[in-house]
């Protein structure tokens, strides 16, 4: 009698297990074939969406008469031409603070960089552009002649020291802004008796490049090749400053460098 009850219990348990297993299988299959909508709110995104820049690029310009734009009949210089091209070619809005002073030497720029309002402006910059050193290299045009060049030796030591201090002071105020320094061209290359001055310009460019190499995110924008044998085309009537065409070429070369950063390309 007890044996029959045990067998009956086993049979009933087995039947119940089969029923539960069957119910679970049917429910699982229904869930797979008829999935329920999730209650979680998922934000849909467009994977091909292009990121547009909305912030204005803050450009601070420093240096001498070249950054001031002297010689440009339209009064734009390379700085304002850069601003226009950034908008037209890259849809990048920008603001410009031009702190350059005509006739400035490296010693003058060092003095300017000590001013609190200038330091505050530099701290707010995203991009810093400058031209400085041409007035250190060449004295007044009335002094420059073949006889003068025979004994002329520019003060390389002071120039190098001043450049290093300039970049150091800029980086002290702003550790992240990209710095673009224009190299030097020789406006007297095609002047009879003054063509030997190119050796001085080459040395000045070497010192500038060495100084810039020691600074993070700083670049030299060369100009020697732009003006070489093109003096009549790109120089103003004073035969020293660029004319509007010369400034346009300088702005275009600077734009290509800045543009490569906007596109996320390597600057090496």
Task: Scan for tokens 């820049």, then name that residue.
Answer: 53
Pairing of strands 94-98, 178-182: unpaired
**Tokens 């006739």, located at residue:** 103
Evaluate whether 103 touches 135 at the Cβ level (below 8 Å).
Answer: yes
Query: What pLDDT was estimated at residue 143?
Result: 79
**What's the burial of 71, exposed, middle or buried (CB within 10 Å: 0-12/13-18/19+)?**
buried
- Enter the tokens of residue 160: 């190098």
What single DSSP character describes residue 101?
-
User: Which contacts (CB < 8 Å, 24+ apart) does range 243-248 have?
Assistant: 243/71, 243/72, 243/73, 244/71, 244/72, 244/73, 244/74, 244/76, 246/71, 247/69, 247/71, 247/72, 247/76, 247/77, 247/78, 247/81, 248/78, 248/81
Where b means 16+ CB within 10 Å and e means fewer, 171-188 reads: bebbeebbbbbbbbbbbb
Q: Where are the alpha helices (DSSP H) in the chain?
A: 2-33, 65-68, 77-90, 106-112, 116-123, 134-137, 146-151, 156-173, 198-213, 224-227, 231-234, 244-262
Phi and psi at residue 181, in whole multiples of 5°?
Answer: -110, 125
Residues 6+ away with beta carbon under 8 Å from 140: none
pLDDT at 51: 27
Q: What is the pLDDT along the chain (268 residues), one digit of tens a residue?
A: 444 554 455 556 556 545 544 544 444 434 333 434 333 223 333 333 232 344 899 999 999 999 999 999 999 999 999 999 999 999 999 999 999 999 999 999 999 999 999 999 999 999 999 999 999 999 876 778 889 999 999 999 999 999 999 999 999 999 999 999 999 999 999 998 898 999 999 999 999 999 999 999 999 999 999 999 999 999 999 999 999 999 999 999 999 999 988 877 644 4
DSSP bridge partners of 58 = 95
What separation in angstroms does the CA of 76 have from each of 70, 82, 170? 9, 9, 25
The pLDDT value given to residue 45: 31
Distance, in Å, from the CA atom of 156 to the CA atom of 134, rounded to the nearest integer, reads 12
- Helix or strand holding residue 57 (H, E): strand 57-63
Closest by CA to 163, choosing from 124, 137, 198, 126, is: 137
Class (C level, CATH) for 57-262: alpha beta
């Amino acid at each position: 009698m007890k044996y029959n009850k045990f067998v009956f219990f086993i049979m009933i348990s087995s039947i119940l297990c089969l029923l539960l297993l069957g119910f679970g299988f049917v429910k699982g299959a229904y869930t797979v074939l008829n999935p329920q909508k999730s209650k979680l709110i998922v934000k849909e995104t467009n994977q091909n969406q292009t990121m547009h820049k909305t912030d204005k690029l803050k450009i601070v310009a420093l240096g001498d008469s070249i950054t001031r734009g002297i010689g440009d009949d339209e009064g734009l210089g390379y700085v304002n031409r850069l601003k226009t091209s950034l908008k037209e070619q890259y849809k990048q809005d920008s603001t410009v603070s031009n702190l350059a002073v005509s006739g400035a030497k490296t010693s003058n720029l060092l003095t300017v960089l000590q001013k609190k309002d200038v330091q505050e402006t530099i701290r707010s910059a995203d991009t810093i552009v400058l031209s400085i050193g041409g007035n250190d290299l060449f004295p007044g045009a009335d002094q420059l002649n073949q006889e003068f060049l025979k004994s002329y030796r520019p003060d390389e030591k002071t120039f190098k020291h001043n450049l290093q201090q300039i970049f150091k002071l800029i980086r002290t105020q702003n550790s992240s802004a990209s710095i673009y320094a224009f190299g030097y061209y020789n406006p007297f290359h095609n002047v009879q008796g003054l063509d030997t001055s190119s050796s001085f310009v080459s040395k000045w460019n070497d010192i500038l490049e060495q100084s810039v190499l020691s600074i993070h995110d700083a670049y030299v924008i060369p100009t020697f090749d732009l003006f070489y044998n093109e003096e009549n085309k790109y120089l103003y009537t004073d035969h020293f400053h660029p004319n509007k065409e010369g400034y346009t070429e300088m702005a275009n070369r600077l734009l290509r460098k800045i543009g490569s950063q906007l596109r996320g390309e390597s600057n090496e």
